[in-house]
Homo-oligomer: A and B are copies of this chain.
Amino acid sequence: MISKRTNSTFLIIKNYYNVWVGYNKNVQHNSYFKNSLDYIFKPRSIGIIGATERKGSVGNSIVDTLIKGDQIISYKSLKDIKEDSIDLAVIAVPRNNVVNVMHELKIKNVRGVVIITAGFKETGAEGLRLENEIINIGKTNNMRIIGPNCLGIIHSYHNMNASFASSDILKGHFSLLSQSGAICSAALDLSLQHNIGFSHFISVGSMCDVQFYELVEYLFYDVNTKYILLYVESIGDMNRFVAVCKKVCLYKPIILLKSGKTAKAAEAAISHTGSMVVVDNFEELFNMCKVLNSSKYPETNEVCVVTNAGGPGVLLVDNIIKNDGVLSNLNDKLKNNLNSFLPDSWSKANPIDILGDASPVLYKKTIDAIIKDDQYKNIIVLLSPQSVTEPLDTANEIINLKKQANEQGRLILCNYLGGTALEESANMLNKNYIPTFVHPEHSVQNLLKLYENIKHIQGIYEEIPEGLSRLSRKSLS
């Protein structure tokens, strides 16, 4: 039985094998896919096996978010579906039915599979036996499998949300691979707040087939992915993983958050290659993304600071030194320039303290002068709320300077050191891709960590294989 679903009408048959198929107009029809993972990430058609009308159920949630507004057809059973009509199957049926579904998918020649269902090797002997059966079925027909026990996948540029994370997603240049579905959904929620756009979210689950190293390599060729984020508990094939990352990271920064005991060994291997940015915690992962959101890798570890307050300036300097950064010396030309419009009692040194009553215009003139001087590549602007401070107008002036700063190859980060009174202006800066932090340590620490990374990559640049060196390096600029 076949029924059509338009935007507002559903027709659902209550049956675990109920299958909904949707077509994605965003994907071009080619005669074949070059990479087997394309069946998963660029499917022209997606079948959801286990769709039900029960609100809050996983199957229902996936159908709801899948291809918004597109036509979806509902089938009573997989048997009703023509061979080769499904590229990607998302399985959300109870554990004991998964093996049967896999058999049927094989008959229908389905090549891409995401298994949401949990309860396999992580639950003991019987689960392991079932998982091995799944792997064997997949192998006989070159089926590629993500999962089991995962949240699903999202490809923002295809408007494809084949997961049960129900949030909206901002399009952008980060891709996240995560061994924890909850980390995926938490990251998705945080990304909306920090204005970080994503290309792919991939919850890998137990990785019975597709491994981290394959996905990293796959994302290397994804034009929308500029930065790859990894949340890893266990890495799988370590040698292959390190080899792939070592070449990918030359073009696309890889940021790794490792967790759990197994990852300790991995860390040793990874830090040996030095090719990835390893972060200590989830917050640092996000702060790093905020720095990268400005689309510029730091060229130097020298930092020039503009501040309206001495104390917070000192905190910032502490953090520059602690993180192996250097406070740039002010050259005479810049000093003379600043003398011409700053009040007499400005600091005459870096940090450039433009005093507690600094107006938006004074901030603007100061930053403008620094941008124009070729010596200063990294500029950190600190604002603390004092009685006459105008955080919003100051933010606007900084945003107006962004284009010029980009053209001159300058990196501007902001510290808006406060709470309630600064929230709106800090959000506005972030929205305009000027990475803005509350606390001084966050801006500097992440900036300098990225500099260390690029320095290392430049050091090993001659090792790039011939094939890769033909690709442009613009993702880093």
Contact = CB atoms under 8 A, between A and B. Distances in A.
B387 A418 contact: no
A167 B319 contact: no
Given A318-B260, A421-B167, A385 B186 contact: yes
A315 B165 contact: no
A243 interface: no
A465 interface: no
Contacts of A179: 311
Contacts of A423: 193
Contacts of A421: 167, 189
A384 B182 contact: yes
A182 B309 contact: yes
A440 B281 contact: yes
A442 to B, nearest CB: 8
Interface in A188-246: 189-194, 231, 233
Most buried by B among A259, A311, A345: A311
A233 B58 CA distance: 56
A185 interface: yes
Nearest to A56: B388
Contact of A164 (B164, B282, B387): B387
A409 interface: no
A311 B178 CA distance: 9
A182 B417 CA distance: 9
Contacts of A175: none
Contacts of A311: 178-183, 231, 233, 259
B384 A186 contact: yes
Given A167-B421, A417-B282, A312 B387 contact: no
Contacts of A231: 311
A446 interface: no
Given A281-B319, A315-B281, A439-B281, A180 B388 contact: no
A295 interface: no
A24 interface: no
Interface string A416-434: 0111111100000000000
Interface in A373-427: 384-388, 417-423
B281 A189 contact: no
A283 B58 contact: no
Interface string A114-148: 00000100010000000000000000000000000
A441 interface: yes
Given A61-B387, A281-B440, A388-B56, A182 B420 contact: no
A166 interface: yes
Contact of A308 (B164, B182, B318, B345): B182
A434 to B, nearest CB: 19
B419 A194 contact: yes
In this complex, the member of A260, A319, A418 whose beta carbon has the largest number of chain B beta carbons within 10 angstroms is: A418
B310 A182 contact: yes
Given A190-B419, A418-B189, A315 B356 contact: no
A327 interface: no
A330 to B, nearest CB: 19
Interface string A294-316: 00000000000000111110110
A438 interface: yes
Nearest 7 A-B pairs (CB), nearest first? A180-B311, A182-B309, A193-B419, A189-B418, A190-B419, A182-B384, A283-B439
Given A186-B385, A193-B419, A260-B318, 9 more contacts: A58-B387, A167-B420, A182-B310, A182-B417, A185-B386, A186-B312, A189-B385, A282-B417, A282-B439
